């Protein structure tokens, strides 16, 4: 079956609902591949480009990897039950363990970037960083700072142009996002 390209907006409601429960942000630097759970982020439109915005704390191994290699994928599990995997990937560090191997996840080559996708997921976004910005602590309300940043481990926001977006159950597409 030929893979049907999914316009980046088509499944936004489903992706938004799942993102609150978690999705996998995967990065690569050299031969090292790492994934982490994200629950903050979203899809937007900047400079006439569809973008996936992800938030990564300075303390995360993923931050170091994104600073060295400006591509990432977001793999979203919509139909499969992956609570255990999302919990593990969100609490363990790629500095200490190979989360992909630990969780028996399978990687699949992406179409437009060098970072693979997680095969077990349903919707995939392949992204290239076109902008990044560190959070400015002085602009964050105190109640949010006290709740989410009491250790002063703030996020960097990465805006990744969506170069390809598709469902995993569809095979062999050109992966465009329009």
Give the range of the structural domain holding residue 100, as residue numbers without chain letter: 12-167
Tell me, yes or no, whether 45 lies in a domain: yes
Tell me if 6 is assigned to some domain. Answer: no
CATH at 48: 2.30.110.10
pLDDT digits (tens, 9 = 90+) for 105-153: 999 999 999 999 999 999 999 999 999 999 999 999 999 999 999 999 9
For residue 176, is it within any domain?
Answer: no
Query: Does residue 1 lie within any of the structural domains?
Result: no
Instruction: Provide the number of structural domains found in the chain.
Output: 1
CB burial class (10 A; 0-12, 13-18, 19+) of residue 129? middle
| Position 175 in a domain | no
Assess if residue 103 is contained within a domain: yes
Q: Which two tokens stand for residue 155?
A: 């996020």
* Domain assignment of residue 172, yes or no: no
pLDDT digits (tens, 9 = 90+) for 57-96: 999 999 999 999 999 999 999 987 888 999 888 887 888 8
Q: Taking the model in full, what pTM does it have? A: 0.88
């Amino acid at each position: 079956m030929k893979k049907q390209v999914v316009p980046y907006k088509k499944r936004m409601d489903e992706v938004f609902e799942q993102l609150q429960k978690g999705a996998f942000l995967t990065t690569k630097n050299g031969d090292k591949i790492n994934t982490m759970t994200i629950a903050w982020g979203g899809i937007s439109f900047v400079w006439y480009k569809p973008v996936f915005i992800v938030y990564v704390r300075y303390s995360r191994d993923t931050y170091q990897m994104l600073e060295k290699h400006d591509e990432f994928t977001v793999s979203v599990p919509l139909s499969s039950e992956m609570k255990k995997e999302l919990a593990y990937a969100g609490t363990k560090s790629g500095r200490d363990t190979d989360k992909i191997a630990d969780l028996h996840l399978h990687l699949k080559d992406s179409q437009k970037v060098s970072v693979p996708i997680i095969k077990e997921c349903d919707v995939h976004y392949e992204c290239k960083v076109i902008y990044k910005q560190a959070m400015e602590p002085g602009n964050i309300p105190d109640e949010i700072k006290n709740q989410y940043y009491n250790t002063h481990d703030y996020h960097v926001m990465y805006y990744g142009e969506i170069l390809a977006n598709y469902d995993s159950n569809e095979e062999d597409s050109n992966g465009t996002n329009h």
